[in-house]
Amino acid sequence: MRMTVSLCVIMVEITNNLKLLPLIMLVLLISKAVGDAFNEGLYEEQARLRGIPLLESRPKYEMRKMTAKEASGNQKVIDHARGGETLVIGLMLRSHLLVLLQSKIDFQHSPLPSEPRVGARHNFTEFVKPVSSRGLSIEDIHLGSDDLEMYIDLAPFLNPSPYVVPEDMSLTKVYNLFRQLGLRHIFVVPRASRVIGLITRKDLMIEEENGELDNVELQSTSVRSL
């Protein structure tokens, strides 16, 4: 991520001389080529040293021959249902779960779901990670023997519609989803057997009061049953 164009604009603004623009561009291009031949950019090196999973702008060529199932992590715990199927109920972050365990407000004796008033019990700022620190860790949670016998209804705190991809999707497309949407994780599910519906661009446009949406040309789509 060598900011060649940005640095060129900065140098032109500092010198205030457009005649130096070709020379500055030539120097920056040569410097970038020499730097890329020896090592990565400064930002990439800092991200690698800090352990930040920074994705490159383009996926690797080997990803074209791989699927999402092949790249799915091996460190996972799956609770199989009686029929042997796995269902995606929702997504909950580890940091949010630590907040619930530390507050102990939602502890209940019965495993049956209750009717909690989430808005009255918790504040939105409790689930936001502070900038000045790394947030809560498992070492900050102190539970007694009585607390370990309690239950928590996680349904109000789950994200019921997380991002999912079919298991046979190309890993290149999954890579682009992470880059474009800024995702941290994504679920890999089996290929769906039936189609429930189809969403087009027109379905995503909210109709205004005057109803002036007739002039928008949209590409027609169709679903063919195989």
- Same domain? For 96 and 149 the reply is yes
**Boundaries of domain holding 120:** 92-158
Q: Is residue 81 part of a domain?
A: no
Q: Please report, for residues 32, 105, 136, 182, the alpha-carbon distance to residue 22 in angstroms, rounded to integers and kept in the order given.
A: 15, 65, 52, 36
Mean pLDDT of 170-195: 87
Same structural domain, 100 and 152: yes
Q: Domain for residue 125, yes or no?
A: yes
Classify residue 111: in a domain, yes or no.
yes
Q: Which helix (H) or strand (E) holds 186?
A: none
Domain C-terminal end among 129, 158, 187: 158
| Domain end point (choices 137, 158, 179) | 158
Inside any domain, residue 66: no
Label each residue of 16-76 as H, E or C: CCHHHHHHHHHHHHHHHHHHHHHCCCHHHHHHHHCCCCCCCCCCCHHHHHCEHHHHCCCCC
Residue 180 covered by a domain:
no
Residue 185 inside a domain? The answer is no
Lowest pLDDT segment from 24-28, 45-49, 173-177, 183-187: 45-49
The lowest-confidence range among 74-78, 166-170, 173-177, 216-220 is: 216-220
Q: For residue 66, what are its two tokens?
A: 């791989």
Rounded CA-CA distance 33/172 in Å is 27
Out of 158, 182, 198, a domain closes at 158
The span from the CA of 116 to the CA of 106, in Å, is: 8
96 and 50 within one domain: no
Q: How many CB atoms sit inside 10 A of residue 103's CB?
A: 12
Does one domain contain both 98 and 47? no
| Residue 103 sits in the same domain as residue 46 | no
* Percentage with pLDDT > 70 across the chain: 77
Who wins on pLDDT, 219 or 103?
103
Quickly list H helices, the chain.
4-15, 21-38, 42-49, 68-71, 94-103, 118-121, 171-181
Q: Tell me, yes or no, whether 218 lies in a domain.
A: no
**Residue 148: DSSP 8-state:** G
As for how many domains the chain has, the answer is 2
- How many Å apart are CA 42 and CA 7, to the nearest integer? 14
Residue 221 pLDDT class (50, 70, 90 cuts): very low
Output 120 or 28, whichever has higher pLDDT.
Answer: 28
pLDDT tens-place string over residues 3-53: 778 888 888 888 888 888 889 889 888 988 888 888 877 778 888 888 888
Would you report the helix, strand and coil content of the chain in percent, each value rounded to 5?
40, 5, 55
Q: For residue 189, what is the enclosing H or E element?
A: strand 187-189
DSSP-derived 3-state class of residue 208: coil
In angstroms, the CA 1 to CA 165 distance is 29
Does the residue 59 lie in any domain? Answer: no
Q: Using 50, 70 and 90 to split pLDDT, how confident is the model at 54?
A: confident
